[in-house]
Amino acid sequence: MSGSDDLNFIGGRWVPSASGKTFENRNPADRDDRVGRYQRSTAKDVDDAVAAARKAYRAWRLTPAPKRAEFLFAAGDILKRRKEEIARLMTREMGKVLVETRGDVQEAIDMAFLAAGEGRRLFGVTAPSELANKFAMAVRDPIGVCGFITPWNFPIAIPAWKSMAALICGNTIVIKPATDTPASVIELAKVFVEAGLPDGVFNVVTGTGSEVGDPLVHHPEVNVISFTGSTSVGKAIGVECAKQNKRFHLEMGGKNAILIMDDADLDLAVEGAVWGAFGTTGQRCTASSRLLVHRAVLAEFEGRLVARAKKLKVGNGLEEGVDMGPCVSESQRETVAKYVEIGRGEGKLLTGGRKLTDGAWAKGWFHEPTIFEARRDARVSCEEIFGPVTTIIPVDSLEEGIDVANGVAYGLSGAIYTRDVNKAFTAMRDFETGLFYVNAATIGAEVHLPFGGVKDTGNGHREAGVAGIDVFSEWKSIYVDFSGRLQKAQIDT
């Protein structure tokens, strides 16, 4: 199947890269399926996009927020209408099963409507002045041009989280989508075009991290960088932004734990563990990659989980009945295979462990759902793998489980399965994570609550919910003195 050939979107126009070069994007489930050909852009293209965004910012920031909201409402309606079409393209582009790509588009829809609703809020604060005949308030101002670097695992949801919040605040955008998944962001641009978003407010430049991402981070007229990806890259971005005194928002890695207590509903816990570990082929920053299981139920849980994992159907995500798609690329599958070999030397392989390379899998980057039992300090227990691999770690108590859960560099998501409300509240208090679930897996965040983590997962900011607006707005405190005379705060008391 031959795909489309797409251009960059800069200043309201579809334009080729200054390099004259392109790259292909192929279906990770079927290498014969070319999804499209995209621009291999350069710093010159980034410069053009930033200039377009800077020019558009002058008028966009002065557009009343309720009017900005109308464009987002329109985009949400268009996404609803095109949901199935975009979901199918996304499954071809990055591999996850169709029911999940529909969910990815639904997140973009939800975020469009949520952010649009903020167009009539964007609340500031008023406060009493210490001086008579003086009014005090604080309001939100936009920041300017936002540079986005987005990942391949949620190729429209995460760009929408960032974009909708930034746009409602009055900012303009230059986005570099992941090299593996440019098509979904191109479709988001087309949605904004149909919604009538003014030229230059949303710009897309495709290409590699070194050729597009680095120039975007270094650009002196980009006021904020929002990045979702690996911790190593995120930290490097943070260092560069700090040199420029540039605002930056980082969403990075995770090594998330489900704590399964001896009083847990094991049927429910097994279903949650399978969904959390193998949904999106384990390629989620919130994936349930550690299962901390009370020894009293260890044998029974392992038996049930292994049996359930063996029943998962791996294949092309567009086909009916498929539970898990491929890894996004050959290099990602090789990373998974490398960790599987490490895990064989560290612990006990309970199931899986093989690349799937024959028959219907021959043209894709498939890997078996894989489960280890290992120590808490094993590499497969501590390092982010980003693939269909999870590790069971035996624990003897709630306290030990919480200690193990917190004993990694990351702090994104956590969960507990228990029937004891006291254990549940203790765990939700003591897990060092930005997200927490009770009797559910570590995945399943909703757009109206803040999303993000602590420690090496993030830098203190959050996406989604009203907290997402904080990343893309500045506070301005305003004092209006109507006394008719000079009053001196802290002095005239």
Contacts of residue 197, Cβ cutoff 8 Å, sequence gap at least 6:
71, 75, 167
Are residues 43 and 156 both part of a single domain? yes
14 backbone dihedrals φ, ψ, rounded to 5°? -90, 115
Identify the domain containing residue 352 by its residue range.
257-438
Residue 452 in any domain: the answer is no
Are residues 200 and 328 both part of a single domain? no
Residue 155 in any domain: the answer is yes
Cα–Cα dist 90/97, whole Å: 9
Is 426 in contact with 435 (CB distance < 8 Å)? no
Are residues 434 and 468 both part of a single domain? no
Residue 449 in any domain: the answer is no
Are residues 172 and 36 both part of a single domain? yes
**CA atoms in the 13 A half-sphere facing the CB of 235:** 7
Residue 224 in any domain: the answer is yes
Q: Which of the residues are catalytic?
A: 251, 285
Cα–Cα dist 79/256, whole Å: 31
Residue 444 in any domain: the answer is no
Q: What is the pLDDT of residue 493?
A: 65
Are residues 217 and 335 both part of a single domain? no
The CA-based angle 447-451-456, given to 5 degrees, is 160
Instruction: Provide the residue count of the chain.
Output: 493
Residue 314 in any domain: the answer is yes
Are residues 289 and 422 both part of a single domain? yes
Q: What is the pLDDT of residue 309?
A: 97
Q: What is the pLDDT of residue 40?
A: 97
Cα–Cα dist 332/239, whole Å: 26
Are residues 234 and 321 both part of a single domain? no
Q: What is the pLDDT of residue 447?
A: 93
Q: What is the mean pLDDT of each run of 10 residues along the chain (493 residues)?
A: 77 96 96 96 98 98 98 98 97 96 97 96 94 96 98 96 97 97 96 98 96 97 96 94 95 96 97 97 96 98 97 96 96 97 96 96 97 97 97 98 97 97 98 97 94 93 89 96 94 74
Are residues 247 and 263 both part of a single domain? no
Residue 489 in any domain: the answer is no
Is 444 in contact with 103 (CB distance < 8 Å)? no
User: What is the CATH number for 425?
Assistant: 3.40.309.10
Q: What is the pLDDT of residue 398?
A: 98
Where residue 18 falls (left for φ over 0; alpha for ψ -120 to 50; beta otherwise) is alpha
Q: What is the pLDDT of residue 1?
A: 46
Are residues 409 and 318 both part of a single domain? yes
* CA–CA distances in Å: residue 402 to residues 120, 329, 430, 481, 482: 42, 34, 7, 54, 57
Residue 38 in any domain: the answer is yes
Q: Please tell me the total count of domains within the chain.
A: 2
Are residues 160 and 298 both part of a single domain? no
User: What is the CATH number for 107?
Assistant: 3.40.605.10
Are residues 199 and 321 both part of a single domain? no
Are residues 32 and 108 both part of a single domain? yes
pTM above 0.75, yes or no: yes
